[in-house]
Structure 1
Amino acid sequence: MFNFDFYNPTRIVFGKETVAKIDSLIPENARVLVLYGGTSAERTGTLAEVRQALGQRTVYEFGGIEPNPTFETLSEAVALVRAKNIDFLLAVGGGSVIDGTKFVASAAHFEGEDTWQILEAWGSNITKAVPFGVVLTLPATGSEMNSAAVITRSATKTKALLSNPLVFPQFSVLDPTKTFTLPARQLANGVVDAFVHTVEQYLTYPVDARVQDRYAEGLLQTLIEIGPKVVGEPTDYDSRANLMWTATQALNGLIGAGVPQDWASHFIGHELTAIHEIDHGRTLAIVLPSIMDLRRNNKRAKLLQYAHRVWNITEGDDDSRIDQAIQKTREFFEELGVKTRLSDYGMTEKDIEPIIEQLIKHGMTKLGEHQDITPEISRQILKASL
């Protein structure tokens, strides 16, 4: 196991009817900006609950944060924070709203003229951030309990990452009933996102990190068990509660502590989203099976462990068991209603080269746990995903 330094200060408030508790978590004299996405937070009554909980505080609101939050939209929120002397932010939504809030929190006090520099430096130049909390409505990204965010610059179709301990949420309210009104598509994307987050930190090479391995395998097994029910059956509190907590655990730092990590599926998937606007979760379902197949020699030991411990595949030679595990993974995504081929989204071989060009432009030329996935290998992965 590698050396590691684990830190996570986010307070989790979990369960039914917990939105009201934000009153005790935000300073009484705070000037609050509530950030959210589209109309669903208003339509479902979540914003009304938030307003009631905030009571007599000075409250402003900023809506319209996109599913892939854009630098352009978030810059408007930054200007509002500065103009109104906002000193606390509250993200009401899923990963995109939370990611966007992290950028706003860090950009509001940024001393440089161009806040895009925060993304160019991957957040390393953040020295101060506005404190913020979260009311989670869509379980998927784990952003409610980590210090990372992905932001898109529409003008250049660039997706960029920031990560800094100063943008951990102070608290996150996780009420599983907030998922009851979500459409099946978003739920399926959330299950896939949590699954692939786990795989990115697990399916690499062994370093005898037994706790992390067993923890990751338990998360994967949970998602396999509850995923079809969450997506295809009437709302059930227990399955939604397990999804919400699993998605949070998948990317709060625990299973990634002391182990090698991959993230090639995400970086390649980001370009598919940026160029073709395919849902983030769906890009992961497209790319992951091909990475598992083409990188089987690099990942052989963990692929066999994955086949055995997660899918209970014990018969056949090594390659046969790996093939079965990859097929089981693809079938799981498909069972959720998530298509796993580029051709399912109308893409052909001619669409691959622009993606490779973007990977090169954004410096994504050494991906994977061994930093050996070159643009040529990324091209092979995308061709295998057709």
Structure 2
Amino acid sequence: MVSLHALLLKTPVPDQSVCEFSEDYKQIYLSLTYSIILALGLPLNGTVLWLSWRQSKRWSCATIYLVNLMVADLLYVLTLPFLITTYSLGDRWPFGELLCRLVRFLFYANLYGSILLLTCISVHRFLGVCHPLRSLPYRSRRHALLGTATTWALVVLQLLPTLFFSHTDYVDGQIICYDMTGPENFDQFFAYGIVLTLSGFVFPSSVILVCYSLMVRSLTKPGETLMRTGNAARAKSIRTILLVCGLFTLCFVPFHITRSFYLTLRFLSSQDCQLLMAASVAYKIWRPLVSLSSCLNPILYFLSVGNNTVRLFQELRGKKTRRSKSSSSIYSSNAHQSDKSWHPQICYCPGPQESCKICLAVWNRLKKN
């Protein structure tokens, strides 16, 4: 059965121009990609949340940000069975109006919530690398909780209009769920989409780019940076930079470019049906790929709190032996010798071990307050 998509141009006149093209590829491609993301994202994010819940130590700032990131991923991944069913049925939506709006809302909540939380993580890492002592009062659990609460509040406020724009409609003899909006509201959605792209993607991406540029400049300074951050902190910062940049390059940047190009062509009432078809296909190909971040974000968790995770597994298996204790002692000893200036849960301490003790003393005093 051939599924035809009528791309209505924005001028609502009786002899309205229509571009018709087949979207049969969606039934296989979207169903397959969403199934893969569901199969990977659900156990990965579920495992991270379970490990964090079982963690006996107080959550660090990084863990707070990352757990919220996993929650955003998990909420979106749980909506994928509805999308898989829909595209398997040839783009027919059998789940009603309320679930249509909720699924579209959670997609964008995951997308822009992930971007803002990654921005928080990047700023936190930047302050630890470039301003370790001056920023210490601002890198506390209280500020991390405040940052995540602010992030969720901004995401909800930004995305409330999607609950209005997304709706079901009767098209080509079947009920569909618009991932954007219907033709009658397209002009308003175009303006909203541009504002959302600037505030939810361009601005946070610029902040991340500035932070990482300054971090790279600091980390590439020989001698001074090594004394200030230590080997372990330097390696962790480099891994974070590479992974977050990879996430943006693979998932977020192509999606926003193809989406903006597609929306602009429709808004300008382009008469080039081939160009419209190419833009539509590019956007719909990258739309599920942006959800790959749900599978890659857990990697960021294991890179940031990997040592705690290994210790937790050892405790749960009940296999703490003298060897593991001695290994832990050796690790602590080596940490003081080769990485004297780094405390993994708290801050970057510049200078020798004495300066680190001062840093930890400041932190303990802040905790009491």
The verdict on a shared fold, with TM-score over 0.5 as the criterion, is no
Q: Which has the larger radius of gyration?
A: 2
**Comparing both structures, which one devotes a greater share of its residues to helix?**
2
TM-score range, shorter chain: under 0.3
Structure 1 length-normalised TM: 0.22
Q: Which structure has greater strand proportion?
A: 1
